[in-house]
């Protein structure tokens, strides 16, 4: 399953120095230019280490930066009218729709809009759970990744955290 990344998953995986977990996902793994500009171009100029980690992830070919054509896309046109979505959110969802890919995003407005448009979504936690399930990360490494992201400010409601930990523990 191809993935299109939004801002939040990239930032918190990079802050936690765990962005390499994306390698466990099927290719192509892409980030729209609008997201790249918001996260990397701006972040590197401001001296953010996480932005540089994401930049290296792209340079190393783990994630590709792609142009997203929104002109003429009915989905992009509808999404652009949504007051709760940024240009980057629209690009992620339009790209995922055009590629029949999964949009990896956490924000509720984006996930709700995706559901209406029939675009499949996954959250940041999925990016950690998938490699644990595939045996590429241990349960302890997965739990550590989740906890470190939270330490860096990734918000997850207590009940969701409990479900994530339960899922981690149930994986073989």
C-alpha R_g of the chain: 15
Return d(Cα 73, Cα 116) in angstroms, integer.
15
| 3-124 CATH choice from 3.40.50.1010, 3.40.800.10, 3.40.50.300, 3.40.50.1000 | 3.40.50.1010
Per-residue pLDDT at 70: 80
Per-residue pLDDT at 9: 96
Per-residue pLDDT at 12: 96
Distance of CA 40 to the CA centre of its chain: 14
Return d(Cα 137, Cα 131) in angstroms, integer.
5
Per-residue pLDDT at 55: 97
On the question of pLDDT at 33 being above 80, the answer is yes
Per-residue pLDDT at 172: 72
Distance of CA 33 to the CA centre of its chain: 14
Q: Which tens digit of pLDDT belongs to each residue from 131-160?
A: 999 999 999 999 999 999 999 999 999 999
**For the chain, which residues make up each domain, given as ranges?**
3-124, 125-170
On the question of pLDDT at 43 being above 90, the answer is yes
On whether the CB atoms of residues 12 and 53 are closer than 8 A, the answer is: no
Q: Which tens digit of pLDDT belongs to each residue from 56-86?
A: 999 999 999 999 988 788 999 999 999 999 9
Please report, rounded to a whole number, the percentage of residues in the chain having pLDDT higher than 90. 90
């Amino acid at each position: 399953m191809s993935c299109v990344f939004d801002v939040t998953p990239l930032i918190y995986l990079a802050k936690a120095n765990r962005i390499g977990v994306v390698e466990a996902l099927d290719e192509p793994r892409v980030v729209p230019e609008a997201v790249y500009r918001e996260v990397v171009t701006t972040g590197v100029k401001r001296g953010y280490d996480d932005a540089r980690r994401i930049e290296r992830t792209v340079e190393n070919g783990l994630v590709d930066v792609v142009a997203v054509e929104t002109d003429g896309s009915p989905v992009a046109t509808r999404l652009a009218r949504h007051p709760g979505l940024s240009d980057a959110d629209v690009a992620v969802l339009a790209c995922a729709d055009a590629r029949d890919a999964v949009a990896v995003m956490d924000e509720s407005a984006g996930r709700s809009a995706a559901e209406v448009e029939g675009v499949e979504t996954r959250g940041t936690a999925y990016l950690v759970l998938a490699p644990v399930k595939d045996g590429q990360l241990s349960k302890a490494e997965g739990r550590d990744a989740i906890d470190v992201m939270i330490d860096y400010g990734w918000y997850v409601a207590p009940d969701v955290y409990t479900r994530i930990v339960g899922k981690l523990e149930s994986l073989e």
